[in-house]
Every structure is written in structure tokens, then in C-alpha cells.
A and B are shown apart, each in its own frame.
Chain A
Amino acid sequence: MLLVVQALNGLQFGILLFLVAAGLTLVFGVMDFINLAHGVQYMIGAYLGATLAAATGSFWGGLLLALPAALLVGLVLEWLVFRHLYARDHLSQVLATFGVILFLNQGVKFVFGAAPLQMPVPEALSGGVPIMEGLLYPTYRLAILAAGLATAALLWFLVERTKAGMLVRAGAANAPMLGALGVNVDRLFMLVFGFGAMLAGFAGVMAAPILSVEPGMGDNLLILAFVVIVIGGIGSVRGAFIAALLVGLVETIGRSAMPDLMRLFLDPSAARQAGAAMASMLVYVVMALILAVKPAGLFPVKR
């Protein structure tokens, strides 16, 4: 019974992870651009959502206004910083986007203060849904799951079944050739970038009511998102989806099962500490194993 709850929590965390990783893998796959600042866009989304929801007095108003705002922030960053880095080597990209992280993490602290912000759960989605005899699961978490799955389906449709998606896939396989065929690659890059930023922002808004909105909240998610795109195969949205669910489940179930497992060997307090650490480590062990067997990830993009 507890396992069902943990599995649902894991899937829901995996979905959030996917929304962040999808943009990251597209930007990386299509533009060969390592954007460390992608996690910050998730944080910006959460802050925008919380602030705008407070300003409009409703969750839905916050969500609807936060999406275009997150898109705008992404496009401004692209115009100011990122577009000057596409032609540079990975190390320069890493250093410059790290500068963006420093600035924006401190920036939100400057504007909103260091204390976490709260965003209310929408009225219609508060309360719980009985998923089993005597077991209520929060409606809002199920809503995140549903919204995430819908977004994933939409993304699959866009990438696999539309002309724009075809161009994106072509860009991931060979961007210079795509340019030579008369496609405006710069504009394509900007679109992909803005869309990725908006997805990350969407994940941020969705997560805001259940997590605390605070500076630096994107940093640890970013590193997990990188794990996801490497496991899934860089540039592959399908790979990112499956890897995100895998990482979400491993992380969440490990977190609840590991301390119990450790209790078999250690005394309770040591088991709790060791178990929590082992659970966090589990994701990296899984990644190392997968890369040892399939070095290009589960669904490598063919070149």
C-alpha cells in the first residue's frame, strides 16, 4: 500500500524531471550547447508562478501569466547571453552559464528575500482522491501527473509529427547540413530554446505548491536532469521521458526503502542516515551501470 503511494510520488517527481530534462536534451542535442542555467529557469518559473498567483489571487491566473513570462525570460537570456556562446567550446559555455546561475540565484534572493515563498494549492484540486480502501492521495499531485503526461504527449506529437519537430530532429542529427538546406537555424535554435525554457518554467509552477520556492532550488534538479538526458541518450525526448520516470522512481522508492533495508545491518539512527545517503547514491549507481552497458544512453540519436 505504501509502495503504491511511493510509486505515484516517484512518477510525479519523474514527470517534473522530464519537463526540465526535455528542454535540456533538445538544447544540448540540437545546438550542442551545455546550458547549466536550465535549472535556474525552473526556479524562475516557480517564483513567477508564486508571485503572479499572489498578485492575481488565483493559482490559475498565476499559471497562465507565468508561462509567457517564463518564455520571455528564456528569450531575453538567449538574446543577451546564450546566442553568443553557440559557436564556443563546451568549457566556455559551462563557465558562462554558471555565471548566469550565480546571478539569477542571487537575483531572486535580492528581489524576494532568502525566505521560501508559498504558493497555494488551487481550490478545485485541494483534498484527496481515494485510490484504495482508506488511502487518500492528494488530488493536486495526481493533477501534476496528468498535466505532465499531457505535456509529454503534446511534445511527442510536436517533435515526431509536425514540420517544426522534423526540423528539430534534423537539427539534432546534423545542424550545419540543415542550414545548408536553407533552414534558418538561428531562428530554430531560438524557438527550441524558448520552448525548453517554458517547459522548465511550467515544471517550476507545477512544483511550487508542493515544494518550497527558494533560491537555488533548481541546482540539484539540474544535475538530476543531466543524469536523465545522459541515461536517455542526448537529444532524445523519448529517452528523456523514460529515463526521467526511471530516475524519479529509483530516487523516491530508494528514499523510502533504503533506511528499512539498512536497519537489517545497522542500529536505527545510523540506518536512517546511511539509508538516506545510499538512496541518493542509487541514481548515480544506476547511471554508471547503464553507461557501462550502453555508453550512448538508452535511446541514442542516430547521426
Chain B
Amino acid sequence: MRWRDASLPLLVFAALAIAPFIGFGQGHALTLLARAMIFGMAAMSLSLLVGGAGLVSLGHAAMLGVGAYAVVVLDHAGVTEALVVLPVAVLAAALFALLTGAVAIRTSGVHFIMITLAFGQMAFFTTSSLAIYGGDDGYTLFSRMEVAGSRFLEGRLAFHFTCLALLAGTWLLVQALLDSRFGRVLRAAQQNEVRAQAVGFAPYRYRLVAYVIAGAIGGMAGVLLSQAAEFVAPAYLTWQRSGDLLFMVILGGLAGPHGALVGALAIVLIEEWLAELTEHWRMIFGPMLILCVFFLRGGLVGLLRR
């Protein structure tokens, strides 16, 4: 890991850690920051696929959705202990990623985008057909989960720092994976598949493992998302949501997970800021995205590097 790559995320984590104590401690601000951090985790897991393995998935919201709906299913069954729910939800998302990835990774390029979209849409329509869990209207959780029996997550600050810890953990994991031999094989296969095979690597297996890991992290983000809102709906799984995650990754830059982290925070916070200025904030945000593409090669983190 290069120090330059690490300094930016560490700065971001430090800023998030002191944010509640310098005027961002009210309910609204903390809700917003939690949302930004959760999308940061999801975007970093997606950046492992997009930046690390060249797998552009347009179905990543389904991973969050599987995680969130695992919470719903268990909540409906009366299980609200985080030490049970979190592993089950993460495993469910990993399993979903394994099954869909096994098919999707056989394709590449635009066809991979469309296959992941197809699986994402299947998951979306499945959740909206689940009448028992509210169908389209969604499912309101009774309360947040207990952690080892305590109502720890109900505390605003506790939830904030839980998200922050998991965010930092996600960054560390994705960065470590990319720096490892595993990550190098992924990148090698992305740059030249034939050569990677010629030196004895089977790209398929490496990509599938990356896909499953990204799915598992996405599932974790989905669990947190359900806890932040205490509500789960099929709207979590729309293809627009998958698109948003992809835009966070691209806007931030593909150089590493720190790009996705910055992209996610930037999109969530700028959206909120513009929405406060005017109801028609998308008329400003849209052209901003276009100008970013025109003038910021390498995304937002490319700007800082100059």
C-alpha cells in the first residue's frame, strides 16, 4: 500500500470521527453521514470488481437488497440479534453472488453489464412480489437489532461509530485484497486475459471469488442500510440504485477503493447540499457530472493527485 493512497482515506475517516463533535451531531446530519458511509462501503466493494477485476456490474444493489431482506426475513421470524443476523445476511448475499456470478462471469464487457442487470432485476421483482413482507410497500422494522442482547445500536453516536468502523474495515480489506497476489492476478487478467492464462492462472476462479467477496460486503452494507432507516423496501434494489453505486465508483476514480469512498461521500453529500439550495438540483448536478467526465480524467482522486 502506498502512503499517498492511504493518507486520503485516513483523513476522511478522521473527519468522520470528529464530525459529530464539531456541529454535525444532530439527528439529520448523523443520518446523512451514516447513509454516506453505508454507500461508501457498497461503492468500495463494487470498486473491487470495476477497478480491480474489470467487471462492471449493474446489479450490485441486489447484494444490498439480499442483505437487507435477510434482516427482514429474520425480523419477521423474531430473530433480531445482530450476532446472528449479520453473519446470516452476509452469507446470504455471498451465496446470491456465487450463484449469479457463476453464470455472469462467463460473459464479458457489455454482456456482463446486462447479465448482472438481469439478475438484479430478478431480485428486485422477487422482493416486490413478497406480499408477506409488504411487497412494493416495503417492511418497517420494529426496531434496530440488539448486539449481544443490548440495545447498543439505538444510540446515535454508537451507530455512527459502528458504521465508521465497518467503513474503515471495508477499506482496509479491499485495499489489502488489491495489494495481495490475488489482486495482482485480477488486474493481470483484466489487462491481458490470454497472458494471464498462459502463465497458469484461471481468471474465472479469481473473478468469481472477487465477485463473492464484493457481494458479501454489499450484503453487510444492506444490513446497515436497513438498520439506519429501520425500513426495507424493493426500492433498495432498483437498477437506478445499482447505477448510482456505479456512478460513485466512476466519479471517484478507479485507482483504488479510496476513489469509490470519495465518490460515494461526494455524491451523497453534494446531492443533499444542492437539494437544500433548490428543488431543481438535478439541473445543476447533471451538468456537474458531465464536466467531471470532460475535465477530470481519473476521477475526483485523480484531481488530488496532480
Contacts and interface: CB of A to CB of B under 8 A. Distances in A.
Is the A/B pair a real complex? yes
Interface of A: 34, 81, 84-85, 88, 90-92, 94-96, 98-107, 109-110, 219, 223, 226-227, 230, 234, 269-270, 273-274, 276-278, 280-281, 284-285, 287-288, 291-292, 295-296
B56 A99 contact: no
Given A103-B283, A104-B286, 18 more contacts: A94-B247, A95-B250, A95-B289, A95-B292, A99-B285, A99-B286, A99-B289, A102-B289, A103-B282, A106-B286, A110-B280, A219-B240, A223-B121, A226-B114, A273-B131, A278-B129, A281-B126, A284-B122
B250 to A, nearest CB: 5
A92 B50 CA distance: 13
Interface string B99-125: 000010011001100110111011001
Contact of B290 (A81, A269, A296): A81
A164 B122 CA distance: 40
Interface string B153-196: 00000000000000000000000000000000000000000000
18 contacts: A34-B110, A84-B294, A91-B56, A92-B293, A95-B251, A98-B286, A102-B283, A106-B280, A106-B282, A226-B114, A234-B110, A273-B136, A278-B125, A280-B125, A281-B126, A284-B122, A287-B114, A291-B111
Contacts of A103: 282-283, 286-287, 290
A227 B280 CA distance: 31
Contacts of A230: 110-111, 114
A81 B291 CA distance: 9
A284 B118 contact: yes
Interface string B215-244: 000000000000000000000000110010
Interface string B269-295: 000000000001111011111101110
Interface in B23-75: 50, 56
Nearest to A276: B129
B117 A223 contact: yes
B246 interface: yes
A105 B283 CA distance: 9
A287 B126 contact: no
A92 B247 CA distance: 9
Contacts of B288: 99
B135 interface: yes
Given A230-B114, A291-B115, A98 B129 contact: no
